Amino acid sequence: MRTIQGPGLHLAQFADDVPPFDNLASIATWAAGHGFKALQVPAWDRRLIDLAKAAESQTYCDELKGILAERGIVISELSTHLHGQLVAVHPAYDAAFDNFAAPEVRGNPSARTAWAITQLKLAARASRRLGLTEVATFSGAFAWPYFFPWPQRPAGLIEAAFEELGRRWRPILDAFDEAGVNLCYELHPGEDLHDGVTFERFLDRVGGHARANILYDPSHFVLQQLNYLDFIDIYHPRIRMFHVKDAEFNPTGRQGIYGGYQPWADRAGRFRSLGDGQVDFKAIFSKFAHYDYPGWAVVEWECCLKHPEDGAREGARFVIDHIIRVTEKAFDDFAGGAADHAANRRTLGLG
């Protein structure tokens, strides 16, 4: 067993044009002051990283690592969520997702997809230069508008969606394999990969690719009413990243999982700052210790009530208090003795 690394902080919700959140050095200083040991860096945010430069220049990557090392911080992983989203976009979401792309490819779905795939491959090479072993992403979605089976779905619709999804992602996964980096899909509503069943469908389409792995975030499973502890038991060999994010689900006589199109603060299911929701993190950290989870515990702050800086400060302490320093010896070693084969046979009545 090994002790989980942490706490880390996902920077997507914190990067801003206002100091200290406007560049990597100052945001690292701020994060270190709250007890964070690592930063998960959004690969699309040029205030924090130049992805193309990082993919090509070892000197630049060493400079980034040096800036963080001076502050007692490392990069835990790169995040490519917005790039992954654009690998597969149903036309119903074209306008909504267009702003995720570079200006020169907006309004051109095929160019946008090609751009996103290029960015993902750059992230693979940049991660290798940075000495990282995992990258976070979304799968994108073709089938999400049809997640509820009414009207009845045409026969073969979902199969066709996953066939195309696998076709697009297979060469990206191969590029990550070449770089020696795992691609970890955050299973998330709005993505074709949003639970265990859909992840298995995808694995079938990419031939069980070794680089296709999971970013585990229990908050999304609370909102789906999926058993997030059983999920770890089933999929722990593929779980390589962990977003420590809380949530609550409080159904009423007026609304449930679907939320009635209401804003986050008024939904039955909503994200909360760490410790304010319903996720059993003691059980999660215990399972990760038991299954020898190899990565970081990264705080992703999303809350419709609490200020982000308070959520970050409390989140760092929360993770520190939940990390289990695993034992190197059994608690009953004091009662044991050296192995004695002959004595063991006598004990079993075998002479």
Q: DSSP label at 144?
A: G
Omega within 30 of 0 (cis) for the link into 7: yes
CA angle 315, 224, 251 (to 5 degrees): 90
Total of domains in the chain:
1
Instruction: Report pLDDT for 325.
Output: 93
Q: CA-to-CA distance for 50 and 64, rounded, in angstroms? A: 10
Task: Say if residues 287 and 326 touch (Cβ distance below 8 Å).
Answer: no
Instruction: Report pLDDT for 197.
Output: 98
pLDDT tens-digit series, residues 170-210: 999 999 999 999 999 999 999 999 999 999 999 999 999 99
pLDDT tens-digit series, residues 219-242: 999 999 999 999 999 999 999 999
Instruction: Report pLDDT for 159.
Output: 98
Q: Residue 121 belongs to a domain with what CATH number?
A: 3.20.20.150
Q: Please state whether beta strands 239-244 and 212-216 pair in parallel, antiparallel, or not at all (unpaired).
A: parallel
Give the chain's residues under pLDDT 50. none
* Global confidence as pTM: 0.95
> Domain range spanning residue 318?
5-347
Omega within 30 of 0 (cis) for the link into 20: yes
